[in-house]
C-alpha cells in the first residue's frame, strides 16, 4: 500500500493546530509583542529542525559513500584473533589463592 492512511480526526487536529499557530502569527504582525515573540520562537524552532534534518541527510549520504570502503567484514575492531585471545583468556584465570592481581603473586605472607 503506497498511499498512507490518514484519519479525518488526525486531519482535523492538524488543521486546528495550524489555525492556532497562524492566528498567533497574525496577531504578531498586527503588533502584539507577545505574539511576535512566540512567532519568532516558532520560526527559530522550524529553522533548527530543518537544519538538523539537512545535517542528518548529509551525514547519511557521507556514510553511504564512505561505508562501503571502511567496513571490515563486520568484525569487531577490539576482537583479538587466534593465540592472542587464548593468552588473554589464560591471563584472567584465577590462580590457586584466588588473587587475580598480578603484583601480589608470591610476595604476600
Looking at residue 107, its pLDDT comes to: 55
Cα–Cα distances (Å) from 62 to 40, 51, 54, 86, 109, in that order, read 33, 17, 12, 38, 61
> Does any domain span residue 80?
no
pLDDT > 90 in the chain, percent: 49
> Which pTM value belongs to this model?
0.53
* Enclosing domain of residue 37: 13-65
**Shortest CA distance to 28 belongs to which of 39, 19, 43?**
39
> Does any domain span residue 79?
no
Of the given ranges (28-32, 41-45, 66-70), which has the lowest mean pLDDT? 66-70
How many domains does the chain divide into? 1
When computed from its CA atoms, the radius of gyration of the chain, rounded to whole angstroms, is 31
> Does any domain span residue 26?
yes
38: its cell numbers: 512566540
CB atoms within 10 A of CB 39: 19
Angle at 5 between CA 46 and CA 11, to 5 degrees: 50
> Does any domain span residue 99?
no
Our measurement of the distance from residue 95's CA atom to the centroid of its chain's CA atoms, rounded to an integer in Å, reads 43
* pLDDT bucket at 65, cuts 50 / 70 / 90: confident
Amino acid at each position: 500500500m503506497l498511499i498512507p492512511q490518514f484519519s479525518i480526526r488526525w486531519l482535523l487536529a492538524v488543521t486546528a493546530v495550524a489555525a492556532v499557530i497562524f492566528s498567533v502569527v497574525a496577531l504578531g504582525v498586527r503588533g502584539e509583542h507577545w505574539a511576535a515573540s512566540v512567532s519568532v520562537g516558532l520560526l527559530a524552532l522550524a529553522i533548527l529542525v530543518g537544519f538538523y534534518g539537512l545535517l542528518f541527510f548529509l551525514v547519511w549520504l557521507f556514510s553511504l559513500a564512505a561505508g562501503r570502503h571502511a567496513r571490515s567484514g563486520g568484525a569487531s575492531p577490539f576482537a583479538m584473533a587466534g593465540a592472542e585471545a587464548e593468552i588473554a583468556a589464560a591471563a584472567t584465570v584465577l590462580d590457586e589463592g584466588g588473587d587475580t592481581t598480578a603484583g601480589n603473586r608470591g610476595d604476600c605472607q
